[in-house]
Amino acid sequence: MTIDGDAAYQVLLARDARFDGRLFVGVTSTGIYCRPICRVRTPARRNCRFFDTPAQAEAEAFRPCLKCRPEIAPGPGLAWTVMDASRTLAVQAAAALDASAASGETPSVAELAARLGVSDRHLRRIFFAEHGVTPLQYLQTRRLLLAKQLLTDTKMPISQVALTSGFKSLRRFNAAFAGGYRMNPTRLRRTSKADRQSPADAPTTSEDAPFTVTLGYRPPHDEAALLAFLSQRAIAGIEVVDGLAIRRTLRAGAIDGADGAAAGWLEARFLSEASRVRLSFAPALGPASGAVIAAVRRWLDLDAAPEAIDAALAELPGAPGLRLPGSVDGFELAVRAVLGQQVTVAGARTLARRLVERFGSEVATPWPEVHRAFPAPDVLASAAIEQIAELGIIRSRAGAIQALARNWSALTPLIARGGDPERLVERLRELPGIGAWTAHYVAMRALGWPDAFPPGDVAALKAMQRLFATSTPREAEARAAAWRPWRSYALLRLWNSLSAGDPR
């Protein structure tokens, strides 16, 4: 995409946070590229080159700024669009490469093309046309930026940083890092430590200390609404909201799907004045750091573009910066959605607590109120249906939960970043006891699908009748079409508009 340099320079002069993560400036006099909100001295216009992505900047031999840290910038935002087919494929390919970088995988372009149903030659062509770099250049940038974040924020051994970032050997990692950033990893860590402004910013050195990283987002972020939503649905023992922080456990395999992955815990704390989140997580999750970071970004909707969403939903009541609550454990969310069928939020929470008490496992955390992991799919799949039903869960829903559990390994790839929400809805609806509303709700939150609008949602229909005098579901659907591609956010605004509503 072509960027208007003069307009982009005005963004830089204004330090406009709306463009954070969607625009980067390379400074030819220093060879460094920055976020548009960087607080260093503004370069002269003649020394500025503008890029859509870090990959474009690094392909032109610019290295990331150590002050504004491009690796913590929010992502570009909307992953599902109404753009033309080629651009959509290119965006889906980038999302899949982001997921690969987060998980440490090394997919070939041919494998990625096969997943998307096109030839690798076609994928290379449309990817370069949309992103200005090749798929492998894009993936290498994502890996190096993840490595830079872990080197800067944590005391993770450099050899583990290399493996976590997707490099198969320390030698290859050192060579790639030095080639891209013109310094070796040890020097970056030393430089980053010297640049910290206070001792509180320094990573803890003990081996059992948590890893702590910084995540950025575009303001405004209505964290109060998001945390209230999560608090109302928090399962006792698994999740708790405390002020601007949310703490929870993670079952083994919840993040990266690996059967041998360790269970752990995390805490996300909003630093509102800085438009950042401080994420801390158990050392046991260190090997999955990239996947944890990506999952938390989706969970807290840190890559949203609030100015576009708020503008599209101006006719609906609500504060600016409303975010779509996601999930760090898609299986937990899907089971919770089944438990929520035709019962209140409080009722579903009670049933979920009983399920966790019976089938969950203990996890050591820093907080006594957070101590249990959600049961794994194989545990619920192998349980006698009577054991689930005796918790007060009607037999048909117990059967739906077991169907989810038995099919979860096949569903997991559809919940990966960049997955097709409509395909996920289709597969979920093939399972017994999973209706259209439940399938859309799972896709909305597990995938972060911004355009979900679960059919027949009673609370939404009630709110639309009050606001717009719609009298039938068909009228409501037609009215909601104007909110595409942000109908999930519209749904949240509709729910919140009801003084006595009880949405799922």
Question: Which residue in the list 16, 451, 457, 502 is annotated as catalytic?
Answer: 457
65 is catalytic: no
Token pair recorded at residue 66: 């150590």
Specify the 3-state DSSP secondary structure of 127. helix
**Other residues' Cβ atoms within 10 Å of the Cβ of residue 16:** 16
What's the chain's Rg over C-alpha atoms?
23
Cβ–Cβ under 8 Å, residues 477 and 453: yes
Cβ–Cβ under 8 Å, residues 90 and 106: no
Question: Which residue in the list 20, 34, 38, 153 is annotated as catalytic?
Answer: 34
Using CA atoms, how far apart are residues 52 and 8, in angstroms rounded to an integer? 11
- CB-neighbour burial class of residue 398 (10 A; exposed 0-12, middle 13-18, buried 19+): buried
502 is catalytic: no
Cβ–Cβ under 8 Å, residues 64 and 71: yes
Kindly give, in sequence order, each residue whose CB lies less than 8 Å from that of residue 66, ignoring residues fewer than 6 positions away. Answer: 188, 191, 192, 195
Token pair recorded at residue 230: 């999560």
Alpha helices in 264-344 (DSSP H): 289-299, 306-312, 330-339
DSSP of 355-421: HHHHH-EE---SSTTB-EEPPPHHHHHHS-HHHHHTTT--HHHHHHHHHHHHHHHHHGGGGSTT--H
Token pair recorded at residue 196: 């910290």
Token pair recorded at residue 475: 């009228």
Residues labelled as active-site residues: 34, 457
